[in-house]
Every structure is written in structure tokens, then in C-alpha cells.
Structure 1
Amino acid sequence: MKRTLLALATTFAATFSAALPASADPNFWQYEWPDTDFSQTTIKNWKEIMSGGPPKDGIPAVDDPQFLRQADEAGLEPRESVITVALEGQQARAYPLRYLMWHEIVNDRIGDVPVAVTFCPLCNSAIVFDRRTAAGELSFGVSGKLRNSDMVMYDRETQSWWQQALGTGIVGQLTDVKLVELPVWMESWAAFREAHPDGLVMAEPPYRRAYGMNPYQNYDSSQRPFLYSGENPPHGVPPLMRVVRVGDAAWTFDRLRAEKEISENGVTLTWVDEQSSALDTANIGGGKSVGAIRVRDGAGKDVAHDVMFAFAFHAFWPEGDWMVN
């Protein structure tokens, strides 16, 4: 029987943790990251940084994605999830989770906009950032580190570390720099094809990976997140309940499923479709149904948001607003 990536990472992480000194500190991490400036950081407790299993670039980011016309892609299943990026004046692009599951970051350019398409499977967090900063244009890789079970990215230009859920530098020269989050959403492949007949879809990357298979089987039915020792969310919200985060507020999928449309806090959230969970069954396209959500402002424009697990929202926004009723 093949072991899942999650099982392998759990074994690796347990071994790695046992080998850690009693108090991990920048001097420890400096051996692996000699070009990272650890004197600049927002991390107060270095024990928050853990190995997720693979080393730096052990999960390889994709840097030169290729695309097909959506009509020419026959390998995706109708219900499987894609990240839709539809920038003004550009053809819409679909980034299938079957690829992001194994790469977590895609460095792309859409027109004149350099973007980082990111997905953290352990938090279900799919965020697309503009790669331009005051320090210049950046490209990102996967550090192999986790904080509150969320991916820690790094930029290749300064070797600074970035928290994916926050889009903020947390260690290094670019500490406290904030990336601009773009208004994108997750939806089914069928919904993308219907909405964007002239759209493009990312082609399969040239790596040997089990694309279409979920290495984190049954993860979103777990009682506890992987490598997370923080508090559970308040209000009795299960840790792995999906929530929609807009700024520092979160709405649970339970509420959205019941009400279908919610208008408050200056935005309207709409349950528009069903897609398969990429973190359920072995086959990404065959997972249980979860909602596809759109978030728009009063003028009907798409709003940047994230669909993440409740524990991650609570970990990174401990004072955040829970829009539970």
C-alpha cells in the first residue's frame, strides 16, 4: 500500500522534532538558511516554526507554467477544484488544485502583472499575490517550514520568509512587507469552463507526480490539524470547518450553506456552486461536495478573500470577528 504524503511527512516531522534542541532559535535555522537575515523578524517564539517534512524546495514551485485553451483540456474532472484568476483585460486562467497540491506555488505573469498562485493544503488556503513590492519583483519557493500548520514561503531574492496565510514577511530583510492579495476564487472546472469559454488552463507540469491524487486523504474530516498545537476556534466551530475570510472577519460554511447569500460588513458572500473537496478521497475529483463562494462589494466587484480552515483563521487572526449569526 502506498503511504500518503501526509503519513510520510508525519513520520519525518516526528523524527525531526525529536532531534530539535530544547529551544529552537535563529542560530539553529541559520545552518540551513545562511543567506537569511534572522536579526529581522516578527517571530517571538521560534518553536512556532516547524518542519513540514520536505526540505527547502523539496516541494518544487512551478516557475514557467504552460497553458492550454480550456477546450483542449480533457483530463480534468468536472467537479474538481481550480483557482480562477480573471484580471481585467486578460483571459481568465484556471490553476487546478491537482497541480497546486504537489507544488503549492506557481510563479506566473498575467499580462504585466507578476503573480504568485499559492495553495496550502494543510490550511486549504488558496491565495494569489502580486509579486511586485517596493523592494522589487520577487519570486517564491516553498521553504518546507510550517507555522500554525500554514506554509512558510521564501523569496529567492533576499531569502526572507513569508507567511502564506498573511502574505507578510516574517523573517529576513523583507520582514513586515505585505504582498497585495488579488481577488480570485475557487470553483469547479465545469463552472470555469461555462463562465470562460475562451479561458486558459494550466497544463500538467513536467514533474513525476501523482497528479489527480490527493496525498492528504480524509484530512478535512480529521479532528485536529497536522502539526498544530494552538487553540481550537471559539463558538464551537470545528477546527477543520471551512470559513471564508475577508480581511479580519470570517463566515463559516455551515452558515453560508444554510443562507446561500449573506450581505454584511460591506460585502456580499454567495454560495454559487458545488465543487469536490480536494482533501477528502484519494481521487481529487471525487471528493465530497463543498461550496464554491464568490465575494463581491457593493458595486458588484470581486473582493479578495480566502477559504481556509477555521483553526488557521483563529491562529492568525486571534482577535478576528466571527460572523456566526
Structure 2
Amino acid sequence: MRSRLFALLLFCATAVSADPSLWRDEWPRTDFSVTSIGNWSEVRSGGPPKDGIPAIDKPEFVPVSAAAGLGMTEAVITVELPGKRPRAYPLRYLIWHEIVNDRIGNRPVAVTYCPLCNSGLVFDRRISGRVLSFGVSGKLRNSDMIMYDRETESWWQQATGEAIVGQLTGAQLTALPAWMEGWDQFRKRNPDGLVMAEPNFARDYGRNPYRGYDSARRPFLYDGALPPHGIQPLERVVRVGERAWPLTRLRAAGRLSEAGVVIVWSAGQASALDAGRVDRGRDIGSIRVTDGAGRDVVHDVMFAFAFHAFWPDGIWMTGR
């Protein structure tokens, strides 16, 4: 049985029409006259209001050796910046908060995760030298989280890192190499690494409120076009730029070298959107993407419908 959260979100989402004039009281600082959105019907309420899903600021970390309570295949977002201690951000926290505003050395970063699209991206928070901090707007576009910056209250599309409404419309955040993998994979490679500590919020961390979502027949809160080539809308794909490789193909191959990148699949990561607990989901495997010199490449492992929605002319690397 689907989580009752789905029903609540659906009611809230369909109860609010996409009309910027209805949002001005909640967003008095947002300039809705400046936008790249061509059709406002693409925007809908996800249920929670602005900051109803609270972003995390100044997260705390513990050494890998002192971490407890994480399952061996439990999913984390890994950030390994040159010269800095690697950091792991468990999805058991991000599934409830969606954005972590952090600083790694002198670099301000936003670690983001949208459960409805399975999109996990890490961005540099600087735009033209100005440091931004991000919150969760409570709005969705093509089922993907719309973030907002607290400085100008412009809206940003999480899956693309682009400002889509407000003063900063058209600005583009710089994505940093990061990836999702199992906790045991991270800690074995980085015994001196750090892992984000449990936030001080009243949340049932470890529970998956989207139980069974990535086995659903259709995406939630999405009524756009579905992927071509017979690809299921909730199949995971590895997106590099405007290309997408189905995870089923990568799992069967183990390793592919195409279009200037090398993609390697390995077992050991549980789906955070499958079972009732994030550490008990089926093993979907982990992906690393590198270039010809072995350097990590920016990529995302998202649902196929989201790739098709934001890159309708994208290239599907099906191997056919």
C-alpha cells in the first residue's frame, strides 16, 4: 500500500492552481514578472508550504570511525573535493530536508536531493561572487523541487541548477562532481572521512515516507510526456549533460565507455525509495562517472521521466 503521504500531497497539490498572483502574499520579494517559465501550469504546490520542508544550515559531522546507526548499503551522497576530507550526506536525512547548506573549506555548497525525481546534485552556492543560501519553496515543476535563495527569493530548478523566477532568472549554479553510493562503499574508501550527523529535528530518520515509489507505474505529481523507447518513467538513468544511460543497461554491462565518459556500475547501494526503511531497499547499485583521464564527472542518477521533462531533445544512450 502506498504511503498515506502520497494521498495528502496529491490533495494539496491539486487544490492550488498555478497562478503567480495567488503566491504574492507568500512571496512578496519574488519578482514574478521575470521568469523563464513559459507555462505556469507546470508549477504546482507539493503540499508543504515555503520552508515546510526545512533545509539544513551549518550541518555537523562526525568521523567515519565514530558513525553509528547507518546500514551498510544505505545510500549517501558523496562529495570528495581535492585536498578536503571526503564527506557523506545520508539520504535518511536528505529525504526529509532536501537541501543542506554547507561549506567545505572555503567553498560554499548546497547538497540537494529531490525524492520525487531521485535527483541528487551538489552545487557551488556562489553566483558572480555572491554567496547564496537555499531553502525549499514547497513548489514543484515537472515533479522536481523548486528551491529558492534567501537573498533575493528567486526560484531555482533543482534538476538543472537554473534560476527560473525572479531577479536572478537565467543564472546558472555550478554543479560539482558528487555521486550516490552505499555507506559501506564510502567508509571503506574513506576511513578518515566525515559523515553528516543526525539533524536536531523531530523526524523519524531512517523511515522512507515514499515507500514503494520507485516501483510505481507513473510518477507522482507529474502529468507531462513519458519517456520514449519503452523506458519506464521511474527507471533510473544516469544523466551526463544532455545524455541519459538507462541504469538497467549499465547494470547488465558493468562498465561502458561512450561519448567521452566511462561509467562503472557496482552493487552495494540500497534504494532509499523502496522499502519502509531506507537501509532495507533493494540493491540498485552505485555509479561512478569519469573522463578519459579518470577524473570524476558531474552527473545525476534521476528518473527517466524527469530527464525527458527537462531535456526533451536529450540523447538516450540505449545501445540500440
Q: How far, CA to CA, are the matches of 2:7 and 2:182 in structure 1?
A: 28
Counterpart of 2:217, as a letter, is Q
Q: Write the letter of the residue equivalent to 2:175.
A: E
Give TM-score scaled by structure 2 length: 0.97
Secondary structure of residue in 2 paired with 1:144:
strand
1:167-222 CA deviation, whole Å, 9 max, x = no partner? 00000011010000000010000000100000000000000001000000000000
The answer to whether structure 1 residue 305 and structure 2 residue 299 are counterparts is yes
Instruction: Look up the match of 2:8.
Output: 8
The one-letter amino acid of 2:132's match is: L
Q: 2:6 is matched by which residue type in structure 1? A: L
Q: Does 1:64 align with 2:71?
A: no
Which of 256, 260, 277 matches 2:271? 277
Give 1:40-79 correspondences, 5 Å limit.
40-79=34-73
Aligned equivalent of 1:83: 77
Write the distance in 2 (CA, Å) between the matches of 1:72 and 1:6: 36
Query: Which digits, 9 at most, give the CA deviation of each residue in 1:143-183, with x for residues without a partner?
Result: 00000000000000000000000000000011010000000
Of 163-172 and 128-137, the range deviating more from structure 2: 128-137
Distance between the aligned counterparts of 1:186 and 1:49, measured in 2?
28
The CA distance in 2 between the partners of 1:45 and 1:25, in whole Å, is: 10
Q: Structure 1 residue 9: deviation in Å?
A: 1.5
Equivalent residue for 2:191, pick from 169, 184, 197: 197
- Structure 2 residue matching 1:319: 3-state secondary structure: coil
> Which amino acid in structure 2 is aligned with residue 106 of structure 1?
V
User: d(CA) in 2 for partners of 1:7 and 1:270?
Assistant: 37
List aligned pairs for 1:177-188, cutoff 5 A: 177-188=171-182
Whole-Å Cα distance in 2 between the matches of residues 62 and 250 of structure 1?
Answer: 30
The corresponding residue for 1:107 is 101
Which residue is equivalent to 2:221?
227
2:267–2:283 CA contact under 8 A, matched in 1: no
Return the alpha-carbon distance in structure 1 between the equivalents of residues 56 and 6 of structure 2. 21
Shift of 1:28: 2.3
Q: Over residues 80-112 of structure 1, what are the superposed CA-to-partner deviations in whole Å (9 max), with x where a residue is unaligned? A: 000000000000000000000000000000001
Q: Which residue of 1 aligns with 2:122?
A: 128
Compared CA separation, residues 2 and 281, structure 1 to 2 (3 A): closer
Residue aligned with 1:158, SS: coil
| Equivalent pairs, count | 319
Deviation at 1:4, TM superposition (A): 4.1
SS in 2 for 1:274: coil
Distance 1:314 1:224, change over 3 A: same
Please give the alpha-carbon distance, in whole angstroms, between the structure 2 residues aligned to 1:268 and 1:191.
19
Identity of aligned residues (%): 63
Distance 2:311 2:203 in 1: 34
Quick one: which amino acid aligns to residue 95 of structure 1?
A: Y
Question: Where does residue 137 of structure 2 map in the other structure?
Answer: 143
Does the Cα contact within 8 Å between 1:253 and 1:291 map onto a contact in 2? no
User: Which residue is equivalent to 2:113?
Assistant: 119
Q: Which amino acid aligns with 1:218?
A: G
Question: Which amino acid in the other structure matches residue 59 of structure 2?
Answer: P
Which of 149, 152, 155 is the aligned partner of 1:158?
152
- Is the 8 Å Cα contact of residues 134 and 147 (structure 2) preserved in structure 1? yes
Q: Is the CA contact (8 Å cut-off) linking 1:148 and 1:230 kept in structure 2? A: yes
Unaligned runs of 5+ in 1: none
Kindly indicate whether the alpha-carbon contact (under 8 Å) linking 1:273 and 1:293 is maintained by their aligned counterparts in 2: no
The residue type equivalent to 2:110 in the other structure is A
Displacement after TM superposition at 1:119 (Å)? 0.2
Q: Which residue number in structure 2 is paired with residue 32 of structure 1?
A: 26
Which SS does the other structure have where 1:35 is aligned?
A: coil
CA distance in 2, matches of 1:111, 1:104: 22
**Aligned 8 A contact 1:4 1:216 in 2:** no
The offset of 1:3, in angstroms, is: 5.6
* Poorly superposed stretches of 4+, deviation over 6 Å: none
TM superposition score normalised by structure 1: 0.96
Deviation at 1:64, TM superposition (A): 1.5
- Whether the 8 Å contact between 2:143 and 2:220 is mirrored in structure 1 is yes
Q: Which amino acid aligns with 2:44?
A: M
Q: Distance in 1 between matches of 2:296 and 2:141?
A: 29
Aligned equivalents of 1:28, 1:273: Cα separation in 2: 47
For residue 287 of structure 1, what is the aligned residue in structure 2?
Answer: 281
The answer to whether the 8 Å contact 1:314/1:320 transfers is yes
Any stretches of 5+ residues in structure 2 without a counterpart? none
User: Is residue 187–residue 273 contact of structure 1 (8 Å, CA) maintained in 2?
Assistant: no
Q: Show the 5 A alignment for 1:211-222.
A: 211-222=205-216
